[in-house]
Amino acid sequence: MSWLEWLVALLAVAGSLFVLLGSFALVKLPDFYTRLHGPTKATTLGLGALVLASMVYFNFVKGELSLQQLLIALFLFITAPITAHMLIKAALHLKLKTSAPTSGKQNADL
């Protein structure tokens, strides 16, 4: 295996790991507000790494020009914070319960 293939493998595995952990956060964390952190951050980075792996593979290993993946990254980075914002706004509106140790509830009017 050339070092480029090692790089692709590393990026793909690291990316998948981050996506997995981001999804794991959805199951494991105590309340809705904390669970939101998993998909907005870990999954963004994980998908970023996967996209990068795909770009390295097609452009350098296969040797064909392919920049489509940039669009995936672009749309992802624009939409992820907006999705999170809409979800947490809805949660605040419905006054969802927070886990016990949450501080600053008065700031959020809960």
Partner 1 sequence: MKSLKKWWPTPVRSLFLFLVWLLLNNSVEFFHLFFGLVLAWLIPQLIHKFRLIQPGMKNPGAALRYGFMVLWDIVVANMQVVKLVVGPNKNLKPAFVKIPLDLTDNLSITILASTVSLTPGTVSAEVLPLDVGVDEPRYLLVHVLDLADEAELIQQVKQRYEAPLKEIF
3 or 93: CB nearest partner 1: 93
- Give the position of tokens 């790991």: 17
Structure tokens at 56: 């390295």
We find the least distance from the C-beta atom of residue 8 to partner 1, in angstroms, to be 18
CB closer to partner 1, 12 vs 29: 29
State the Cα–Cα distance between residues 61 and 57, nearest whole angstrom.
5
CA angle 78, 67, 85 (to 5 degrees): 10
Site for partner 1 in 27-56 (CB under 8 A): 28-31, 33-34, 36-38, 40-42, 44-45, 48
DSSP state of 105: G
Crossing angle of helices 3-28 and 43-56, rounded to 10°: 160
**Site residues for partner 1 per CB under 8 A:** 18, 21-22, 24-25, 28-31, 33-34, 36-38, 40-42, 44-45, 48, 66-68, 70-71, 77-78, 80-82, 84-85, 88-89, 92, 98-99, 101-105, 107-108, 110
